[in-house]
Chain A
Amino acid sequence: MLSLSAVTDSPTKRPHRDEATNVLGVRIHDPLERSVEPSWLEQREGPGAPARFVLQQPESIVGRSIEAHFTIESSLISRRHAVFAQSGPEVTCRDLDSSNGVYLNGVKVHSALLHEGDTLQIGDVVLLFHEGR
Chain B
Amino acid sequence: MALFVRFWGTRGSIPTPGFKTKRYGGNTSCVEVRTNESVFICDGGTGLRELGQDLIRRAKPPPMHLFFSHMHWDHIQGFPFFVPAYADHNVLSVYEIAPGQTRIRELLTGQMRSEYFPVSFCDLGAKIQSGYLEHQGKLIDGVKVRCISQHHPGTSYAYSFEQDGKKVVYSTDNELDLWLDPKLSLTSPESLRILPSEFVDFVRDADLLIADGQYTEEEYPTRIGWGHARTNTVVDLAVQAGVKQCAIFHHDPMQTDDDVDRKLERAEERARRHGSNLVIFGAREGMELKV
How many residues of A are in contact with the other chain, CB < 8 A? 14
Q: Which residues on the A side are within 8 Å of B60 (C-beta)?
A: none
Q: Report the Cα distance A106→B265, complex, angstroms.
A: 13
How many residues of B are in contact with the other chain, CB < 8 A? 13
Minimum CB–CB distance from B290 to chain A (whole Å) comes to: 4
Q: Report the Cα distance A113→B287, complex, angstroms.
A: 6
A131 to B, closest residue via Cβ: B22
A12 in the interface (beta carbon within 8 A): no
B220 in the interface (beta carbon within 8 A): no
- For window 91-129 of A, CB contacts with B under 8 Å fall at 92, 95, 104-113, 115
Minimum CB–CB distance from B72 to chain A (whole Å) comes to: 26
The answer to whether A110 and B290 touch across the interface, beta carbons within 8 angstroms, is yes
Which residue from A107, A110, A112 sits with its C-beta under 8 Å from B4?
A: A110
Q: What 0/1 readout, one digit per residue, does chain A (26-56) give for beta carbons within 8 Å of chain B?
A: 0000000000000000000000000000000
Which residue from B22, B281, B285 sits with its C-beta under 8 Å from A107?
A: B281
Minimum CB–CB distance from A131 to chain B (whole Å) comes to: 10
- For window 9-32 of B, CB contacts with A under 8 Å fall at 22-23
Q: Which residues on the A side are within 8 Å of B281 (C-beta)?
A: 105-107
B288 in the interface (beta carbon within 8 A): yes
- Contacts beyond the supplied A107-B281, A115-B23: 7 A-B pairs with Cβ under 8 Å: A105-B281, A107-B245, A108-B289, A109-B288, A110-B4, A111-B286, A112-B287
Could you pull out 29 A-B pairs where Cβ atoms are within 8 angstroms? A90-B286, A95-B290, A104-B287, A105-B281, A106-B279, A106-B281, A107-B279, A107-B281, A107-B287, A107-B289, A109-B287, A109-B288, A109-B289, A110-B4, A110-B288, A110-B289, A110-B290, A111-B286, A111-B287, A111-B288, A112-B284, A112-B287, A112-B288, A113-B284, A113-B285, A113-B286, A113-B287, A115-B22, A115-B23
